[in-house]
A and B are shown apart, each in its own frame.
Chain A
Amino acid sequence: MDFRFSEEQTMTADVVRELLADACQPADLRRLMGEGAARDEARWAKIVQMGLAGALVPEDKGGLGLSAIDFVQIAEVCGYAGLPEPLVENAGVALPLLAAFASNDRAAALLERALAGEVTVSVAHPANPFVADADTAEAVLVVRNGAVHLVEAAKARIVAQPSVDPFRRLFTVAFEPSAETLIAEANEADAALAAALDRGALFAAAQMQGIAQRCVDLGVAYAKERQQFGKPIGSYQAVKHHLATAQVKIEFARPVLHAAAAQLEQGDIYSRARISQAKLACTDASDVAARTSIQVHGAMGYSWEVDVHFFLKRGIALTNWWGGPAFHRERVAARVLARPLGPEHTFAREAANA
């Protein structure tokens, strides 16, 4: 029993944090928004160079063979930076899913290019009504009646669905399913799609944890600077207590998130409930932190000029991504109402209870 990250895990996240602190400042986000672009090619090239695309792809399929626990802090860092490019969705969800179908030649060929960083892949999973970043993806993994199809973006009808987060574009994807597009029948795809949902929800939660901390940090920085009644507003208890309350939410979402990452591979009712709990806790933290930050900024907080709204909007976008609160609460209920409870079951797994 040791609830700590390894030095290597933390170091990898630190490298990504430093890169994004340099290359993904709010000024960079504003420039990208002004250009109407979906991706900053220079930044994406640097991210690709780090070689993280295959992080969660097994080694025998050409990846690094890492686990969710190795990647969760990276996803937090991406949330903190408000990263527009799809590192988390591509490396965290799409490529491990694609790798599950690598016995199919088209999937294998695409995986090779994706692992080399030449292209990205998007996923149209039943948990999500839209496909994120389909315009910059080479291909989309689409689920139809439980079966998985691999559709080149160029051959699909991709319709933009303008949405609130300027850096995370949503689309619907239409295509003609055929024997050629099919890469896995429903019975072959079930387990991989369930794992994709778990990873998607976990890493969405991780990004929201990062968003929450960013919102508090922005609020704290402003409260130290802004003077009213002759003192920094951060010296007043009313302001302090708002920010402390948001930080408490963050502190108690974090261990749930990290336990969920460590337990993900179990793939049982216990690990699914923990992932869903993490999604709920991080959603709550990001919601409270974003609203707190806006309140602390006062009228500035409601302005386009202050950066908080980028994080507010990403939080809104991720709240329902890979399952909304009602969906995840029911996954928690399935565990709470049907399995043993109490302190001796904190780290339970199905195999041990069989």
Chain B
Amino acid sequence: MDLDCTDEQKAFRQEVRSWLENHVPEKPLPSFDASREGFEAHRAWERVLAEGRWGMVTWPESYGGRGLDLIQWLTFEEEYYRAGAPLRVNQNGIFLLGPTLMEYGTDEQKARFLTAMASGDEIWAQAWSEPQAGSDLAAVRASAVLEGDEYVLKGHKIWSSRAVFADWAFGLFRTDPASQRHKGLSLIFFPLDAPGVRVQAIPQIDGETGFAEIFLDDVRVPAFNRLGGEGEGWNICMATAGFERGLMLRSPARFQVAARKLVDLYKAHEAEVEPTVRAAVLQSWMDAEAYALSIYATASRLAAGGHIGAEASTNKIFWSEMDIAMHKAALSILGARAELLRRAPEAGGIGRWLDGYFFSLAGPIYAGSNEIQRNIIAERMLGLPRA
């Protein structure tokens, strides 16, 4: 065990830091879920990242990456959050679909989709859930029927993050109409502006439109857009979900920076807050550190050839519950001013904790509800019998 960085790793950190210092926009960008303008500002930032080949450092150089290992990815993420750089509007693409494409895609598919994904030219949404297929994702009904060399897509997808403004979506479709449950599903890509696609925004708790319903009415896409074999969609989705819950979706630096801001907020109000809030602030810092250390342990294991397993589920539970606790601590410190909207004259210095708190409440639900994660831990880690 060696917890010190090599000189090479330290030099890499400096390189990332100085590039970010020169390129991160001075003013925060408007939210990518609130307006087309905000979405396009984030796309422009993705292009800046791609030009510097910083969009996805672990990707091979041929797809715009740098071919770096997971420890260097962690360093990049640490510097990225430290610099306060914009949230990644294309996270569905680069963090989830990208790694899945590299594992299951053909060379032609990789060439077609990865480069445009890395450059920010094509921004991706997820189309998995349906009104009757939430936690029970295997109940998917949306169908894809092969006609010649095209699939005809029909169905109703919901809770699709980024779908309001994104360019493409990857979805789970039943390609075998006689199939039940996990069998007979395939993963298929479709452009969100294709004829027959209608996207309906769903306002969220925070008033923004981060997710949407997608209605597909005889949407024709080439069979080329299917990732993996027919009927292999479920297993491929579960691999994607492993990346999502396990490692890439929530890099530890995000929470370590939030914990630092929480400690700063606490220090500014130290005289007014009660001891239980102080304990909660310290616990938030400890939890953010524990999550970071855990990801370092996982990254070291994966770098040595290991695979991510059910610990993806423990990670998802841990960060989602930590995120809520952290924001609750901040709201406690702010007291009665916590409820002010940022345009209120008295709202100086209250930050974005209320927005963050709302968003944290979604954490235990998206990417597989925490109840489902606990089932996975109980059955796959602990070996308890299925119901």
Q: Which residues of A are in contact with B by a Cβ distance under 8 Å?
A: 1-6, 9, 69, 216, 220, 223-224, 231-232, 234-237, 239-241, 243-245, 247-248, 251-256, 258-259, 262-263, 277, 280-281, 329, 332-333, 336-337, 341-344, 346-347
Q: Is the CB of B286 within 8 A of A332?
A: yes
B91 at the interface (CB under 8 A from A): no
Q: Is the CB of B263 within 8 A of A337?
A: yes
Which residues of B lie under 8 Å from residue A239 when comparing CB positions?
Answer: 384
Q: A1-B71, A2-B300, A346-B293 are in contact. Are A241 and B378 (CB under 8 A)?
A: yes
Which residues of B lie under 8 Å from residue A263 when comparing CB positions?
Answer: 3
Which residues of A lie under 8 Å from residue B259 when comparing CB positions?
Answer: 341
Which residues of B lie under 8 Å from residue A253 when comparing CB positions?
Answer: 290
In this complex, how many residues of chain B approach chain A with their Cβ under 8 Å: the count is: 59
Q: Is the CB of B282 within 8 A of A329?
A: yes
Among A1, A9, A258, find the residue whose CB has the most chain B CB atoms closer than 10 A. A1
**B235-279 vs A: 1/0 string, CB under 8 Å?**
000000000000000001100110110010001000000000011
B225 at the interface (CB under 8 A from A): no
- In the complex, 9 of the A-B residue pairs with CB atoms within 8 angstroms, ordered by the A residue number, are A1-B300, A2-B1, A237-B374, A240-B378, A256-B293, A343-B252, A344-B13, A346-B292, A347-B4
Q: A235-B385, A241-B371, A329-B279 are in contact. Are A277 and B289 (CB under 8 A)?
A: yes
Expressed in whole angstroms, the Cα–Cα distance for A204 and B300 within the complex equals 26
Q: Which residue of A lies closest to B6 (CB)?
A: A1
**B285-324 vs A: 1/0 string, CB under 8 Å?**
1110111111011011100100000010010011000000
Q: Is the CB of A6 within 8 A of B1?
A: yes
Q: A220-B382, A240-B384, A337-B263 are in contact. Are A5 and B82 (CB under 8 A)?
A: no
Q: Is the CB of A1 within 8 A of B260?
A: no
Expressed in whole angstroms, the Cα–Cα distance for A9 and B2 within the complex equals 13
Expressed in whole angstroms, the Cα–Cα distance for A258 and B236 within the complex equals 34
Which residues of A lie under 8 Å from residue B297 when comparing CB positions?
Answer: 3-4, 254-255, 258
B386 at the interface (CB under 8 A from A): yes
B9 at the interface (CB under 8 A from A): yes
Expressed in whole angstroms, the Cα–Cα distance for A336 and B281 within the complex equals 10
Expressed in whole angstroms, the Cα–Cα distance for A6 and B377 within the complex equals 27
Query: Which of B18-42 touch A at CB < 8 Å?
Result: none
User: Apart from A240-B375, A258-B293, what 11 extra A-B contacts exist at CB < 8 Å?
Assistant: A4-B304, A220-B384, A224-B385, A239-B384, A240-B374, A240-B382, A255-B293, A281-B290, A337-B267, A342-B256, A344-B82
Among A224, A232, A262, A346, find the residue whose CB has the most chain B CB atoms closer than 10 A. A346
B81 at the interface (CB under 8 A from A): yes
Which residues of B lie under 8 Å from residue A240 when comparing CB positions?
Answer: 374-375, 378-379, 382, 384
B383 at the interface (CB under 8 A from A): yes
Q: A1-B2, A3-B1, A277-B286 are in contact. Are A343 and B382 (CB under 8 A)?
A: no
Q: A220-B384, A235-B386, A262-B1 are in contact. Are A244 and B378 (CB under 8 A)?
A: yes
Which residues of B lie under 8 Å from residue A4 when comparing CB positions?
Answer: 1, 297, 300-301, 304
Q: Is the CB of B256 within 8 A of A343?
A: yes
Q: A343-B256, A346-B256 are in contact. Are A262 and B82 (CB under 8 A)?
A: no
Which residues of A lie under 8 Å from residue B289 when comparing CB positions?
Answer: 256, 277, 346
Q: Is the CB of A243 within 8 A of B382?
A: yes
**Per a CB cutoff under 8 Å, which of A248, A258, A346 touches B318?**
A248
Q: Which residue of A lies closest to B256 (CB)?
A: A343
Expressed in whole angstroms, the Cα–Cα distance for A4 and B378 within the complex equals 25
Q: A241-B371, A280-B286 are in contact. Are A341 and B4 (CB under 8 A)?
A: no
B336 at the interface (CB under 8 A from A): no
10 closest A-B pairs by CB: A240-B378, A343-B78, A255-B293, A343-B253, A244-B374, A244-B377, A234-B384, A3-B300, A341-B260, A343-B256
Which residues of A lie under 8 Å from residue B387 when comparing CB positions?
Answer: 235-237
Q: A236-B387, A341-B285 are in contact. Are A1 and B314 (CB under 8 A)?
A: no
Expressed in whole angstroms, the Cα–Cα distance for A1 and B385 within the complex equals 39
B5 at the interface (CB under 8 A from A): yes
Q: Is the CB of B282 within 8 A of A336?
A: yes
What's the dominant secondary structure at chain B's contact region? Answer: helix
Expressed in whole angstroms, the Cα–Cα distance for A346 and B257 within the complex equals 11
Q: A241-B378, A277-B286 are in contact. Are A220 and B383 (CB under 8 A)?
A: yes
B79 at the interface (CB under 8 A from A): yes
Which residues of B lie under 8 Å from residue A258 when comparing CB positions?
Answer: 1, 293, 297
Expressed in whole angstroms, the Cα–Cα distance for A2 and B9 within the complex equals 12
Q: Is the CB of A262 within 8 A of B371?
A: no
Which residues of B lie under 8 Å from residue A329 when comparing CB positions?
Answer: 279, 282
B381 at the interface (CB under 8 A from A): yes
Q: Is the CB of A332 within 8 A of B78?
A: no
Which residues of B lie under 8 Å from residue A256 when comparing CB positions?
Answer: 286, 289-290, 293
Which residues of A lie under 8 Å from residue B293 when comparing CB positions?
Answer: 3, 255-256, 258-259, 346
B134 shortest CB reach to chain A, Å: 16
A7 shortest CB reach to chain B, Å: 12
Which residues of A lie under 8 Å from residue B314 when comparing CB positions?
Answer: 247-248, 251-252
Which residues of B lie under 8 Å from residue A333 when comparing CB positions?
Answer: 278, 282
Q: Which residue of B lies closest to A223 (CB)?
A: B384
Q: Which residue of B lies closest to A277 (CB)?
A: B286
Among B9, B296, B311, B373, find the residue whose CB has the most chain A CB atoms closer than 10 A. B296
Q: Is the CB of A224 within 8 A of B384?
A: yes
B383 shortest CB reach to chain A, Å: 7
Q: A252-B291, A329-B279 are in contact. Are A69 and B1 (CB under 8 A)?
A: yes
Q: Is the CB of B81 within 8 A of A343?
A: yes
Q: Is the CB of A5 within 8 A of B1?
A: yes
Query: Which of B64-80 touch A at CB < 8 Å?
Result: 71, 77-79
Which residues of B lie under 8 Å from residue A281 when comparing CB positions?
Answer: 286, 290
B303 shortest CB reach to chain A, Å: 8
Which residues of B lie under 8 Å from residue A216 when comparing CB positions?
Answer: 382
Expressed in whole angstroms, the Cα–Cα distance for A1 and B296 within the complex equals 9
Expressed in whole angstroms, the Cα–Cα distance for A256 and B304 within the complex equals 21
**Per a CB cutoff under 8 Å, which of B3, B279, B304, B311 touches A1?**
B3
Q: Is the CB of A252 within 8 A of B2?
A: no
Q: Is the CB of A1 within 8 A of B9?
A: yes
Q: Is the CB of B82 within 8 A of A1?
A: no
A4 shortest CB reach to chain B, Å: 5
**Per a CB cutoff under 8 Å, which of A220, A277, A343 touches B290?**
A277
**Per a CB cutoff under 8 Å, which of B78, B267, B384 touches A344?**
B78
Which residues of B lie under 8 Å from residue A342 when comparing CB positions?
Answer: 78, 82, 256-257, 260
Q: A252-B290, A333-B282 are in contact. Are A341 and B263 (CB under 8 A)?
A: yes
